[in-house]
Amino acid sequence: MTTHDAAHRPSPLLMMLEARAFAEFGAFVAAYPLLRRAPRGDGHPVLVLPGLGADDASTWPLRAYLRDLGYAVHGWQLGTNRGPREGVEGRLRERLATLAARHGRKVSVIGWSLGGVMARELVRAEPAPARCVITLGSLFGGEPGWTSVGGMYEALCGRSVAEDWPDRDRLRTPPPLPSTAIYTRSDGIVAWQGCLEQKSPRSENIEVEASHCGMAVNPAVLYAVADRLAQPEGRWRPFERTGARRLIYRDPQRPAPAAA
């Protein structure tokens, strides 16, 4: 790990603050009646990919919420996420095509953490059946050393992050369809600076107050996801931080703290 990588690696304090995920789940339960009032879309299919070392059980609350809003929501059905190992990318492409054909609609793809990196690469490879991509705390814009779980990645995947994702320039380039990156500056797992989409006519960043491990149950995250999915197909617009939203969603363009 280089000095530059170490400067971006989340601090031990932020790692400890990941325990907030339990409180975020409690907030999700308490806020559920309000979350059900979020914008509702057209019920199109949604594919959700889990993070490193996780499976579809980890995304159940998010999928249940979106299903309650009327979407045809699906897990990835590939077991534990151990990265882009042999056969996984091909099976993901097949699943995306199958869902699009089954519903006769384009599919929105959501990925949490490592799942978000894989989601972006999936829709980059197969843009035709995809509608949009949303990432939750996904390190696609940084370097392999910008994470506090590099050792865990190697243990689960049998390879390093650098080996699995050698083309960093390609990872940073936005996919050829609407893409939303939801991130938190208090992320204890990956450097938030590496979770940002590059500016383009169809990409955006939404900042939330959340932990990395609690993003898929954080009420602010879930509302933002619902808002993005509710947009009419082919009429994508950036997320609007207007009215009361300014109290919840910080300005992604504001300067980073000096110690960041």
Under a CB-based contact definition with an 8 Å cutoff, are residues 140 and 116 in contact? yes
The predicted-structure confidence for 62-91, as pLDDT tens digits, reads as follows: 999 999 999 999 999 999 999 998 899 999
For the chain, the helix, strand and coil percentages under 3-state DSSP, each to the nearest 5:
40, 15, 45
6-43 pLDDT, tens digit each: 668 898 899 999 999 999 999 999 999 999 999 999 99
Strands 72-75 and 45-49, bridge-based pairing: parallel
Distance CA 101, CA 95 (A): 10
Token code pair at residue 157:
């995947």
Task: Output the pLDDT for position 260.
Answer: 41
- Which tokens sit at 175? 């996919």
**Can you tell me the distance from the alpha carbon of 96 to that of 111, in angstroms, rounded to the nearest whole number?**
13
**pLDDT for 253:** 84
11-248: CATH topology is Rossmann fold (3.40.50)
Burial category of 74 from C-beta neighbours within 10 Å (exposed 0-12, middle 13-18, buried 19 and up): buried
Per-residue pLDDT tens for 221-245?
Answer: 999 999 999 999 999 999 999 998 9
Give the residue with greater pLDDT, 123 vs 3.
Answer: 123
Calculate the CA 217 to chain-centre distance.
12
Under 8 Å between Cβ of 109 and 130: yes
What is the rounded average pLDDT for all residues in the chain? Answer: 93
Q: What is the pLDDT of residue 65?
A: 98
Residue 215 has pLDDT above 50, yes or no: yes
The span from the first CA to the last CA of the chain, in angstroms, equals 18
Beta bridge partners of 204: 180
Gap between the Cα atoms of 161 and 165, Å rounded: 6
pLDDT of residue 220: 97
Element (H or E) spanning 46, and its range?
Answer: strand 45-49
For the segment 172-188, the average pLDDT, to the nearest whole number, is: 96
Q: pLDDT tens-digit profile of 92-124?
A: 999 999 999 999 999 999 999 999 999 999 999
Work out the number of other CB atoms within 10 angstroms of the CB of residue 97: 15
